[in-house]
Amino acid sequence: MTKKQDGMNYAPKGKPHPVVGEGEFHFAAIGLDHGHIYGMCNGLIEAGAELTAVYDPDPEKVKRFVETFPQAKVATSEEEIMGDPQIKLIAAACIPSERCALGLRTMEHGKHYFADKPAFTTLEQVDQARQKTEETGQKWGIYYGERLHVESAVFAGQLIEEGAIGRVVQVIGTGPHRANPKSRPDWFFDPDCYGGILCDIGSHQIEQFLHYAGAKDAKVLHSKVANYKFKDYPRFEDFGDATLVADNGATFYFRVDWLTPDGLGTWGDGRTLILGTEGYIEIRKYIDIAREPSGNHLYLVNHEGEFHYDCSGKVGYPYFGALILDILNGTETAMTQEHAFKAAALCIEAQMQAIRIEMA
C-alpha cells in the first residue's frame, strides 16, 4: 500500500528487523481516519510487534484495514481493546483534533500511545499530554513520518552525527502535497479538525529541523498561510511557510502546500537542504524529477567531494524498533518525549502566529 500518487495512503514497507520475539509485544490500532495508520503498523510489525486488534466506528474503514492486516481481530468497542492486558501500545490515526483525547484515555488504561501527526491541534492539548506522561510514565510517540519513515532522511541524520558536514547552521524544507480533494473527507478541509496547514504537514518540517540542527527549542520569527486555489473550501489552507531560529543559533525556513501538479509522478516532491559549516546535504525524498522515479536520493558535498546515495532498501527505519525497546526498557533512544512535544508545540505556535494572505 505505498500509493505514490496519494500521500494520505502512502505506507512505506521495509525489511523485517525484529527487536522482540514472538508474543513479546502486542499492539492495537484505534482510529482509521488517516491512511498513515497503515505505515505506522507496517513499521511496528517489521520491528517484531504483533498487531492483535483494531477498532473504528466505521465498519468500511475496518473492512479495508483487515484486508491488509488480517491478523487483527475486529473489536466491538474501544473499551474492549483498552481492557486487554496483553496490549501494550495503541496506534492511532483518528481525526487530528481527537487524537489527544484518545491518547489520554489510552494512558488512563496503562498503555502507551503512538499517534499520527499532528498529534495535537492546540497548545492546551500539548500541556495535557505532557502532564499525563509525567503522571503515568507512559510513552506518547508521534509519527513524524517524513523523517522517521524515509530512508534518505534517516541517512542524513546519520551523516550529520558522523560530522560529514560539520555543525548544522541552516535547514530549508519543502513539503508539497497533492490534494486529491474528491477523495478527501470533510474534516480534511476544516482547520478546527486538522489544525491548519502549519500545524498539520508543517509538523514534519519542524521536527526535522530540531533533529538535524541538534536543537532543543526554537522561536517562530514569521509565518503565513493562504488559500490560493481551493475557493470552494474557504477555510482551507493550501499554502503555508515559516521561519524559525533555534536555541543554538541554527535557522530554518520551510514551505508546505497542497499544490502538487498532476504531472508529477508521486504525491509530492519533498526535499530538505541542510547547510553545515563543512558541507551540505540535499534530500530528494520521493522522486528525482525527470531523471529517476524512485525516491530516497541523498546528495552530499563536503571537503572530500561530491556524492550521491540511493538509500532505498539500504538504511531501514530504526525508529520503530527503538520505540518498542524504549517502551519495554523505560529508555529514550527512539525520540525523547520532550523533542516530540516541542516539535508539536512549535508547529501550533507557527499556525497561531501566521498571517493569512487574502488574494484580491
Quick check: helix, strand or coil at residue 210? helix
Could you state, in chain order, the average pLDDT of each consecutive group of 10 residues for the chain (360 residues)? 59 90 97 97 98 98 98 98 98 98 98 98 98 98 98 98 98 97 95 98 98 98 97 96 98 98 96 98 97 96 98 97 98 98 98 92
- Report the alpha-carbon distance of residue 93 to residue 187 in Å, rounded: 13
Model pLDDT, residue 4: 59
Residue identified by cell 541523498 is: 298
CB 27 within 8 A of CB 51: yes
Distances in Å between the alpha carbon of 140 and those of 104, 112, 134, 192, 342?
A: 10, 6, 11, 22, 13
CA–CA separation, 112 and 119 (whole Å) = 14
Question: Are 317 and 154 spatial neighbours (Cβ–Cβ below 8 Å)?
Answer: yes
Helix (H) or strand (E) holding 274: strand 271-276
Alpha helices in the chain (DSSP H): 36-46, 59-68, 78-82, 96-108, 123-136, 145-148, 151-161, 191-194, 202-213, 318-329, 337-353
Cβ contacts of 121 within 8 Å, gap of 6 or more: 96, 97, 100, 192, 193, 194, 195, 199, 348
Name the residue among 353, 343, 354, 147 with its Cα closest to residue 239.
Answer: 354
pLDDT of residue 11: 79
- CB atoms inside a 10 Å sphere around CB 10: 23
pLDDT computed for residue 1 by the predictor: 39
Sign for the pseudo-dihedral over CA of 41, 107, 125, 214: negative
- In the prediction, which pLDDT does 14 show? 84
Residue 41 in grid coordinates: 503498523
Closest CA to 209 of 221, 225, 196: 221
Closest CA to 339 of 206, 184, 181, 145: 206
Task: Please provide the size of the chain in residues.
Answer: 360
The CA distance from 198 to 94, in Å, is 19
User: What's the distance, CA 4 to chain centroid?
Assistant: 16
Cell digits of residue 166: 560539520
C-alpha cell, 63: 473492512
Residue 356, class by beta-carbon neighbours within 10 Å (0-12 exposed, 13-18 middle, 19+ buried)? exposed
What burial letters (b/e) apply to 311-340, b meaning 16+ CB within 10 Å? beeebbbbbbbbbbbbbeeeeeebbebebb
